[in-house]
Structure formats: structure tokens, C-alpha cells
Chains A and B, each alone.
Chain A
Amino acid sequence: MSQVFHEIEKKIITSLKNNPKQTPENLEKSTNLSPDQIRRGIEWLKLKELAIVNESQTVNLFLGKNGLESFHKGLPERRLLDLLKNESKKLQDLQKELGSIFGPAMGLARKNNWVDTSEDKIFLKNYPSELPGEKTLKQIGENKISKSELDIDDLSSILKRPDFIIEDIIKTKEVSLTENAKLIEITTGSSSAINVESKVSDVFVARTHPLKDTIDEIREIFVTLGFTEIIGNMAQPSFWNFDALFTPQDHPARELQDTFYLDGLSAKKIGTSEQIRKISESHKKSWRYYWDINEARKMVLRTHTTCVTIKHLAENKPDEARVFSLGRVFRNEKVSYKHLVEFNQIEGVVVGKNATLRDLMGIQREFYRRIGITKIKFWPTFFPYTEPSLQTMVYNDRLEKWVELFGMGIFRPEVTKPLGITKPVLAWGGGIERIAMLKYGLDDVREFYNNNLSWLRSATKCQ
């Protein structure tokens, strides 16, 4: 038996081993515990199926005022018979002698043919040595006696007399040990053990948002892969969101239906005059159209975080760098289980004279490995500002299909040259909610922004 017992339980078990059937009151005496301690101890033992409690009911009887008077002085009819034992007496004399009990005593004596009347006198006819009820009175006396010890016939003869016999109903509990409990060896030792097996209630922990956890995890992975985090604005001039990334001004992606333009807002300063001149030249040459600076000034909610990284590169022109930007991006889409208008993206670049496409693929593979995805492959795709362009496909075991994750490529010379960036720039990026959906097994991306407390309180934190 490897169970641990509370001190209370130990005392009760020990006492019951010595004296197998006890009432709680007995246990109080034998263990020196308080009634409340005994009550709790018995409950615990019952839950552990170590104690049995049999409940029974006993009726105790004791004498009331009239009963006691009869015990001391004799029953009224006995006292009447005793007065008549030596001589007959007048009714008036007897009335005087016995007072209020004369009536009932006389009635009984006549009915039982113990006395008779002649002229004005009452005389004894019969003197019974024991009257009904006398035995009971004698047995109870001044004590309390269980009903079961009495002669029921004799008792019933006086039970109904007013204030003779009083019934006291007592419910008693009898505690005993189960067979298992009898085998328990009580040892002295730890005195603070409690019932560790009982159920306890849930406490809701305050916690960071599950999506934030994923964001932090991804951020940390790239930091440990040598990337430095940069932060930029969500509202950007079209210049950095589109023009600098070789997206022509008449390109469908720039239309209102895909991009959020800020009503009536344009940026006065969008870049250096050299940046503006060179980018406009690159557009005119490649896309053959009239490049309009006012179009480039229009403020949009960034559609990717690449605008932050490209601006950083344009300003710093590093020969060797790893930077990333992580944050909210916006698309003018109908909200559905797979599309949000606002979601998180991470986008990073590697600048270096020896940076190759295989390095870019290697960084991606390492990232996926660290978030627990090992089944990946690369497919070609198209982005306006990278060439070659690839996308990663990862295998989702739950959905049993390949799903698209990060896109990547090498920045086109049409992007880097006008901004004075001379070394190859590997770029990669993608949505974070998609990864978080895989992680939390969600099929509806909106769940992340519903702030549904029952989900926030139950989503597994450590995974």
C-alpha cells in the first residue's frame, strides 16, 4: 500500500483497528480529534473506499413528569389499591387523599374489577401483585433505555398516558474499516499529506496571443540565422511599395481593387531626386509608358514588407547584409476563411557578392526545418521584382496536400541598379498566419483576430 495518509486518517484507522465498529462520537473520544476532524477524516476514507459507514436509528425512552411521579410514588391505581388494602373507605376520603389522580385511578380499578362499591364505601376486591406498566417504570426509572430492551406489551399499557413515556429517536453512524483498510500499516512520518487525487478547478492563465507566439518564434529563427530586424511604416508612398519594386504604374496589382489607397493622402517627399529619376527611367525603358510622379506619391497601405527592406537597402547600400522586416500588410480582398485584409508578413534579404539561389533555398530549408517542416520542395513562380523567382511548397500531413508558403527570388537589376545597389540581393518572404494555421491546426484564418476567449484560453501554448 503506497498511499499517503493525513494525520487524521491515520488516527481513525488506528482506532478502528483496535475497536472495529465505532460511532463518530466514540472515535472522538478514542482519537482525541474534534467532531469536524472526524467528519472530514471519515469522508476522505470513504472516498478512498477504506471506510464504511453504516447508518442506523435507535429509539430511547425515558420517563416524563407523570411517569417519574409514578416511579417514585407508584402508579395512581396502585396508590388507590394500597389505600384500600386494609379497609374500605368513603369516596370523599379517597378523593381527598389522592386528589386529581383519583378519577383516572378509580376508572381503571373498576374496569379491571379490582374494586367495588357498597353503600357509600369503596372496598377492595382483588389485589394484583404487579400492575401493567409497573415493570416498565421500574426498568426505565430515571435512566434512558433503548426501546428494544423493554417488554413491548407492558410498555404499550402506559405509552399513551400523557407525559409518562418520552421517545428519543437517535440516528447513529457506525464506522468500520473495509477489508483493504484493515491491511494498512500506519507509519508515523509526513504529517502534511493531503488528498492529491481529488479533482481541482481550472484556472485560466493570462497569455500572449498564439499568433504573436508564432511571430516571435519566426523572428528568433531569422535572428539566429544572422538577420537583423528592421521596422518601417505601414502607410507608404506608392513609390516604395510599387515603383521601386519595378511594378509599373498601370499594372493591375496597383489598382484600387487590390490595394488600399489612403483617401486624399499623398507624400510630399518620396525619395532622393536621383532615386526618383533613375526609377522613372527604368520604368520608361522597360514598360514603355509615361511615368507619373504624382502616382508614385499616392499613399497606400503596404501590400508587402519588401517596401521596408528595399528602402533600407537604398539608404544603406550595404555590400554584405542580412535584414528582415516583419509586420502587418494589407490587401483589398473579401474577407473569408482563407483571406484577410490585414495580415502579417515577414520579408528578408541577403546581400552579398557570393549570394546564390542555392543559398536562398538553403536558408528557406533551414527555416522550415526549425519550425518542424521537413517535407518541402521548390517550384518556379513569378514576382515582378525578382528573377529567378521560386516558391516553397510544404507538405501538410493533416490536409494531405502540398501548400504554398514563402516566395523568394533574386532582385531584378531593374530594382537594384537604379537604387545604387551593386551586389546580388536574395529576397524571400511570406505570410505568417499560414504558418500559424498549420501550427494550431486552424482552417479559418479569421480565428486569429476574433479574440475568442474560449480559444485563447485553450490553444496549446507550448508546441
Chain B
Amino acid sequence: MPVVELSYSRLQKLLGKVSKKQISDSLPFLGLDIESEDKDLVRVEYSPNRPDYSTDLGIALGLQGLFGIKTGAIKLNIKKSNDYVIHVEPSVTKIRPFVTGIIAKNGRIDDTIIKQLMAMQEDLHFGIGRKRKKSSIGIHDLDKISFPLRYTTTKRDHRFVPLNSDKELTISEILDNTDVGQDYGAILGNSPQVPLILDSKKQTVSFPPIINAAVTTVTTKTRNLFVEVTGINKDDAEDMLSVVATILQTAGFALVSTKISGAKNTSPKLEPKKILINSVLINQMLGLNLTNSQIISSLKKSRLDAALKGKNIVCSIPSYRFDIFGPMDLVEEVTLGYGIQNLEPILSPSQTLGQTNPISIKLKSLSLIMIGLGYTEALNSSLTSKRVLYEMTNREPMNMISVLDSKSQEHTILRDSILPGLLENLSRNIHISYPQRLFETGTIFSQGNPVNETASFAGISAHQDSTFTEIKSILQSALKTGFDLDIETKTFSHPIFEEGRTASISVHGKTIGIVGEINSKTIENYKIRVPVVGFEISLSGLIFD
């Protein structure tokens, strides 16, 4: 979850007469988890479906609603203008077909706002932009650009000075040699043509979705902004634009429209969408008896507009709230506006009778038998390593199931046996008093259609006088007590076990496992200093069908 750092004093300036404590108590009720606090600063985690909360301006809008300082939807006041035209050329259709944009004028931005705008841009890129693939954003100094603009394509030898650089680079050089080029270049594939925004003086404004030109860099001296969004989907691009537009208007900028045409592109409207709801659904979901006016007031506190129309409530949702899909999302908005703390939990009698799964019951019974036999239960990960599973036990890996790109070396392969894990446990307890007796029941994996999961049961006994007879006797007693089964043992060989002191275990003529003395090589690998005996059997057919 992304994190934003807020300053209480800045929030207080944005909110008016509200104490620090009121703010910190209310942040969680916007869905913001306080991660840490340090005097005036507070770091909060926000959910990626609310990119407007990546800035304190957006959070202030939410808090105003909760405190009742300002309620209802935030309206975008966009002044119509014909001065800012973007022509879209058909060549972009196959690579990145859509562009949209807005002008923000006469604002003041300090370092904090620049920092927050950059963070918001990154969050938008990551979330709704799907790492810039779906849509990406560029914020520019308007005064360095001459309109009209052209959204077009260019060859990879096109040159311009990119952001954070002082010399001209070709598109190819940017893709090969800069961090952003390496991170996002793949979006453009091998296409010889790449998207480009040029101004009327043929000056490069932006190379989407990779990087802006240096010339339009925004600083604290910038007063007027041009925001462009490009993407593969018009709606996503406009959703992204509306978040930025809302935040810039809140920061004090005056919004002015752009005019976009060509290749199925149109000017953005950024208009609210309407969703109809009724009190029945809301009360049914929440278990409350709210009146229409209570519902409307709750929605307004959540910074939405709502009005009664017949028996229904018409809800008007600003375009930046694209996380709202339908009526159930509005149930949540009512909940937040009403206040979760005002919802009293109720415990209704259950209409159903509960039941433990029979498999759980049998596994538990087997555990209790092993406890009775003096064995302590161990728990190991089912996702383990080649080292534990094969290298230490000299087993040959066969049809291993491995996971892709694990962050941990110790967790890369699904276990096909429990015993290696138990031996590993013994090796970590060599300074603890003996005898040590462990057992584990758990899932083992093998390739099948596509994966077979079976329950396996293993036990191990380590002490100076451990013998084959001891462990066979334990297994025999466990299966007799647990399942009224008699086992047969036949000479067998297996890489973990000592030759001549190992047997296969069969029940009714079907081999279900192995029992024996662990061989000295394995014991040495694990640096265990006492003899070890063990068994492992499959529970298929015993506990599972």
C-alpha cells in the first residue's frame, strides 16, 4: 500500500479550526492507516483505489466532509477556451491512441506541492496506469509551450533534451541509457515509431509514456500548467486527468479546457456520472433504518452529491471518483459518511449448524495418537528449498514444482516429502536434550493435472539408542490405533535410509510409505550426533479418498 507523509499544521491550514487530535482520530475513518507519527508529521497508508489521497489536498477534501466543514461533491470549474488545441495524428492509433489534457492557470506551487504532485503522478502510473501501460501523465510549464500541439509519432532517432538531462539524446538513447527508458521502454515494444507531443514550434514537449522534455520542467516559479495524459483507453486517460485536475483546482489553480481532435480523440468532459440508489438497498446491507435525508447527508459527507427523485436517490459522482462502479460502492460511501463507529454490531442467531470438516477431525485424532506415543508436533513450510529437499538428503529431484522469482532462497520448491523438513528440525536442535521425537502431518505436492496435493504423515525419533524396531513399532501402533490397520514391511532401499535397515510399508498389499534408520551420510549432512530413525506414509485412502 502506498504511503503519503502529511503535516498536521498544513492540514490545519487547509481545514480551519480543527485540532491535531481530531485530525489524527479521523484519518482512519477515511480508510487511511496511520503508519507512524513524529511531532507535526504523520505518515499514512492509503489504498491505491484512491489516488486523490496521495496529496494532503485530497485528504483535506475528505476530512472537510467528515467534519462537516464542507460537504457535497467537488465541482470542477473548467473555463471553456479555444486557445489550447491538440491535434491527434492517425499514426498514434496503433501505438498509443489517446491523448487528453487540461490547463491550470495562476497557481502557486511550493516544494511540498511539487513533491506531492510527483508522488501522485507515480501512484497514478502504478495503479490505474498499470505501470504507465494503460495511461501515463505529464505535467508541464504551460509558458514554455506554444499551442497548438501535435500528438504524433516519430522515429527512434528523434532527438531532444529529456527531463533531468542537460544534453540532447535520441529516443533510442533514452530507452537504452536512462532508468525510466529501461523500466518502461518495453511498453512500446519493437515499434520503429514512438509517440511524441510536439508544440507549434516543433519543440518536443513529451515522449509518452517515458519522459517529458526538460524545457517544460515545473519549478516553484511556475504559475501556469499544462497537464497531458496519453493512453490506450480514453476513459482511463480521462479518469487519470480528472484526479490531477481536482487536486490542482484545490491547490488554487483556475482550470481551462483543451480542445482535442483527430483520430477518434475528443476533448475531455470530466463530468460527474449519475447512479441511482434507494434506501431499501442501503438499509438492507447495513442493517439500519436510515431515512432518505440521512442517506443524502451521509453521501454528502463523503463528498458526493445526492438528491431525492421519487423513491430513489440520484447520486452524482465526480469524475475523479472512478473507484465507484455502482450502487454497492455507494453503500460504502453512506457507511463512511454515517460513520462506522455509529454502526452497532449485532449477533443474530445462526440459521445454520456448524460442522468441522471430517478430514480435520481425523488429522487431529492422528495427532493425538502420536502425542500419546511421545511424539511432539512440528510444523514446516510446504514451500521449501532444493537444499533441504534434495541436497541434504541425497535424493534425486524428479518433476519438482518450483515457483517463479521467489524473494527467498529458502522458499522455492513445493515439498514432495515431509521427512527432510523434520531432519532439518533435528539439525537445529542438536544442543537440546534427547530423546527428540517429532511428527508432522501435512500436504505434499507432485505434478499431476496440473498439481496433485496429498496428505503425508512422517515421524522421527533421535536418541542414542534409537532403532528400526522402535520406529516400526511406533508406526505399527499408530496405524493400528488410528485405523485398525496391520502393516507389512519388506526390505527396501531409499537414499535417506540405511541399506539393510529400511523397509517399505504396505497395507492390504498396497505400498503406502517407508520406515527405517536414517543413513549416516544424511545424519552427517545435517550434523546430527545421535542415530535417527523415521517413517513417512501417505494418508491417501486413510484420511483422504
Contacts of A207 in B (CB 8 A): 371, 376-377
CA distance A164 to B449 in the complex (A): 104
Instruction: Please name the residue on chain A nearest to B411 by beta carbon.
Output: A341
Once the chains bind, are A358 and B450 in contact (CB under 8 Å)? no
Number of interface residues of A (CB under 8 A): 90
Q: Which of B140-148, B215-223, B332-340, B521-529 contacts A (4 or more CB under 8 A)?
A: B332-340
Within 8 A of A (CB), among B113-136: 126-127, 130-131, 133-134
Task: Report if A413 contacts B (CB, 8 A).
Answer: yes
Task: Report if A260 contacts B (CB, 8 A).
Answer: yes
Task: Report if B54 contacts A (CB, 8 A).
Answer: no
CA distance A275 to B256 in the complex (A): 46
Once the chains bind, are B31 and A451 in contact (CB under 8 Å)? no
Contacts of A229 in B (CB 8 A): 355-357, 360
Within 8 A of A (CB), among B337-361: 340-341, 343-348, 350-357, 359-360
Once the chains bind, are B336 and A358 in contact (CB under 8 Å)? no
Total A-B residue contacts, Cβ distance less than 8 Å: 256
Instruction: Please name the residue on chain B nearest to A208 by beta carbon.
Output: B377
Q: Which of B348, B368, B403 has most A Cβ within 10 Å? A: B403
Task: Report if A410 contacts B (CB, 8 A).
Answer: yes
| Given known A358-B286, A451-B425, contact A226–B379 (CB-CB < 8 A) | no
CA distance A235 to B443 in the complex (A): 11
Q: Which of A263, A320, A334 contacts B402 (CB 8 A)?
A: A263
Chain A nearest CB, measured from B27 CB (Å): 10
CA distance A263 to B414 in the complex (A): 11
Task: Report if A389 contacts B (CB, 8 A).
Answer: yes
Once the chains bind, are A230 and B357 in contact (CB under 8 Å)? yes
Once the chains bind, are B130 and A250 in contact (CB under 8 Å)? yes
Contacts of A359 in B (CB 8 A): 287, 346-348
Contacts of A364 in B (CB 8 A): 345
Once the chains bind, are B404 and A260 in contact (CB under 8 Å)? yes
CA distance A414 to B428 in the complex (A): 49
Residue interface bits B398-432, CB-to-A below 8 A is 1, else 0: 00011111111011001000000000010011001
Q: Which of A233, A382, A414 contacts B453 (CB 8 A)?
A: A233
Contacts of B345 in A (CB 8 A): 358, 361-362, 364-365
Chain A nearest CB, measured from B256 CB (Å): 28
Within 8 A of B (CB), among A331-352: 332-335, 340-342, 352
| Given known A206-B375, A209-B378, A263-B402, contact A341–B235 (CB-CB < 8 A) | no
Task: Report if B180 contacts A (CB, 8 A).
Answer: no
Q: Which of A382, A388, A451 contacts B335 (CB 8 A)?
A: A388
Task: Report if B437 contacts A (CB, 8 A).
Answer: yes
Task: Report if A114 contacts B (CB, 8 A).
Answer: no
Contacts of A404 in B (CB 8 A): 33
| Given known A228-B355, A358-B346, contact A206–B28 (CB-CB < 8 A) | no
Instruction: Please name the residue on chain B nearest to A361 by beta carbon.
Output: B345
- B: interface residue count bin: 35 or more
Once the chains bind, are A322 and B350 in contact (CB under 8 Å)? yes
Once the chains bind, are B379 and A322 in contact (CB under 8 Å)? no
Instruction: Please name the residue on chain B nearest to A209 by beta carbon.
Output: B377
| Given known A207-B377, A226-B354, A449-B379, contact A216–B364 (CB-CB < 8 A) | yes
Task: Report if B52 contacts A (CB, 8 A).
Answer: no
CA distance A364 to B346 in the complex (A): 10
CA distance A332 to B449 in the complex (A): 24
Q: Which of A266, A357, A454 has most B Cβ within 10 Å? A: A357
Contacts of A321 in B (CB 8 A): 352
Contacts of A212 in B (CB 8 A): 367, 377, 379
CA distance A399 to B411 in the complex (A): 30
CA distance A380 to B325 in the complex (A): 18
Contacts of A288 in B (CB 8 A): 233, 235-236
Contacts of A454 in B (CB 8 A): 429, 432
Residue interface bits B315-338, CB-to-A below 8 A is 1, else 0: 000000000011011011001100
Q: Which of B244-252, B380-388, B501-509 contacts A (4 or more CB under 8 A)?
A: B380-388
Once the chains bind, are A362 and B348 in contact (CB under 8 Å)? yes
| Given known A207-B371, A261-B403, A377-B341, contact A356–B287 (CB-CB < 8 A) | yes
Q: Which of B286, B343, B352, B411 contacts A320 (CB 8 A)?
A: B352
Contacts of B542 in A (CB 8 A): none
Chain A nearest CB, measured from B375 CB (Å): 5
Instruction: Please name the residue on chain A nearest to B50 by beta carbon.
Output: A382
Residue interface bits A316-333, CB-to-B below 8 A is 1, else 0: 000011100000101011
Chain A nearest CB, measured from B31 CB (Å): 4
Task: Report if B47 contacts A (CB, 8 A).
Answer: yes
Once the chains bind, are A448 and B284 in contact (CB under 8 Å)? no
Chain A nearest CB, measured from B401 CB (Å): 6
Once the chains bind, are B332 and A265 in contact (CB under 8 Å)? no
Within 8 A of B (CB), among A367-425: 377-382, 387-390, 393, 404, 410, 412-414, 424
Q: Which of A25-33, A186-194, A217-225 contacts B (4 or more CB under 8 A)?
A: A217-225
Once the chains bind, are A379 and B380 in contact (CB under 8 Å)? no
Task: Report if A366 contacts B (CB, 8 A).
Answer: yes
Task: Report if B30 contacts A (CB, 8 A).
Answer: yes
CA distance A378 to B344 in the complex (A): 10
Chain B nearest CB, measured from A214 CB (Å): 11
Task: Report if A460 contacts B (CB, 8 A).
Answer: no
CA distance A382 to B32 in the complex (A): 10
Q: Which of B332, B346, B401, B414 contacts A389 (CB 8 A)?
A: B332
Within 8 A of A (CB), among B174-214: none
Chain B nearest CB, measured from A242 CB (Å): 15
Once the chains bind, are A358 and B351 in contact (CB under 8 Å)? no
Instruction: Please name the residue on chain B nearest to A215 by beta carbon.
Output: B360
Chain A nearest CB, measured from B348 CB (Å): 5
CA distance A358 to B345 in the complex (A): 5
Once the chains bind, are A357 and B285 in contact (CB under 8 Å)? yes
Contacts of A334 in B (CB 8 A): 407-408
Once the chains bind, are B370 and A206 in contact (CB under 8 Å)? yes
Instruction: Please name the residue on chain A nearest to B333 by beta carbon.
Output: A388
Once the chains bind, are B343 and A361 in contact (CB under 8 Å)? yes
Contacts of B482 in A (CB 8 A): none
Within 8 A of B (CB), among A176-195: none
CA distance A429 to B532 in the complex (A): 41
Instruction: Please name the residue on chain A nearest to B449 by beta carbon.
Output: A268
Contacts of B408 in A (CB 8 A): 333-335, 341
Chain B nearest CB, measured from A323 CB (Å): 9
Residues of chain A having any CB pair with chain B under 8 Å: 204, 206-209, 211-212, 216, 219-220, 222-231, 233-235, 250, 252, 256-257, 260-263, 265-268, 286, 288-289, 299, 301, 320-322, 328, 330, 332-335, 340-342, 352, 354, 356-359, 361-366, 377-382, 387-390, 393, 404, 410, 412-414, 424, 448-454, 456-457
Q: List 29 A-B contacts (CB under 8 A).
A: A204-B433, A206-B372, A208-B371, A212-B379, A223-B355, A228-B355, A231-B360, A233-B451, A233-B453, A235-B451, A250-B130, A250-B134, A252-B126, A252-B131, A262-B414, A263-B404, A288-B236, A289-B134, A299-B450, A341-B407, A358-B345, A359-B346, A379-B31, A382-B31, A382-B49, A387-B328, A387-B331, A450-B428, A453-B376
18 A-B pairs besides A265-B451, A358-B343 with CB distance below 8 A are A216-B364, A225-B350, A231-B360, A234-B443, A262-B450, A286-B325, A341-B411, A357-B286, A358-B346, A362-B348, A380-B28, A381-B47, A388-B336, A413-B326, A413-B328, A448-B379, A449-B381, A453-B376
A-B pairs with lowest CB-CB distance, top 5: A226-B350, A356-B287, A382-B47, A388-B332, A361-B345
